[in-house]
Structure 1
Amino acid sequence: MNSCCSFDKKDLEFDNQELRHFADYETGDTIFFESNSGNIDTIKIMGYENEKFDNCGGLISRQPSNTRWVTIKHLPKDKWHGTSQDMTKEAEIEIDYQGLLWISKYPIGKTIQYNIDFKDFHSTTDSLIGQFNTGPLELNNLTLTNYYKVQHGYPERIKDSTEIEVVYWTDQDGLVAYRNKGGEIWTKKK
């Protein structure tokens, strides 16, 4: 049975190119965003988490994978919950941080998938972060070139004007901007 699940262990490991989207995030950093209305939004980088499953098992066993994500905490007043599954107790545990960027690697199909979660924004799982653009794009006082534009993965769920429709991401600076349904645009402060 294990022969149908065999893979080279090195195919499970991330390389520097795959991890480039995490380059701007250092544990303990505080990042500020300012909107075109003068509002401020603040996040703190809490750290990185990893989950590696490298076993091959029976027919209903999950496929081998390696997942890495950066965790953030929204400051000071917003609280966006993530969830974690405690496999020993089979119960959900409420946590006070949110995974911002997720990368998952599956060695059997040799595929990589990315997800972005930020406040009420959730991208779809995809092999690319989003639509790559070479720009230029002017958002508030920020000019972007070589950026990813990521649409909400479930646009039908966006009902309120404060809900985020699109995020903008760069390899060098990570999350650099986002826009809500009401047209308010938030950009990262340098």
Structure 2
Amino acid sequence: MTSPSRRAEFFVDEAQYLSLYPRTTGDERRMLADFLAAQRATLVTKCSGLEKELARRSVEPSTLSLLGLVRHLAGVERRWFRQALAGQDVPRLFFTEENPDEDFDGAVADAAVVAEAWEAWRAEVAFAERYVEEAPDLDVEGQNPWLGTVSLRWVLIHMIEEYARHNGHADLLRERIDGAKGL
């Protein structure tokens, strides 16, 4: 994977890098689920080897941090899969009416906060993966308070976009923390 023109080496090895690529053939559901899984794995990789550093802010006055992204994406997973598609009446994660930015504001360098974020994120991802696997097709619909009716297909595409955008932020955050670049 190295090239004389590469500006920096990846902070993971070639095998781990290639393992993040989704399958290149398959039906639509499998392809979308694989691309989303790859984006989720990328987030985990960008956070790997860090604990309290996950809460480090990018630059003042921004509250953006890797831990904030984990908390934010746990909430996004819940909003789309549990609330919108499954219709569950569950509270939002890392959010209050008084502080709608609690996902980032509450991302502090405390082991319990870090553990809670990862536990919530893993639980929401597991729910979403089961939901996608068990759905009869990609045309299953749910309701979103802002957009109205949404299909599972649309939610999967949106989630891939959501993770891809935030993984770009995670690139810069990780580089700021320890200089690790790539992937």
TM category, shorter:
under 0.3
When normalised by structure 2's length, the TM-score is: 0.28
More strand by share: 1
Q: Which has the higher contact order (CA 8 A, sep 6+)?
A: 2
Bigger fraction of residues in helix? 2
Compute the TM-score of the two structures, normalised by the length of structure 1. Answer: 0.27
Q: Quick check: which has more Rg, 1 or 2?
A: 1
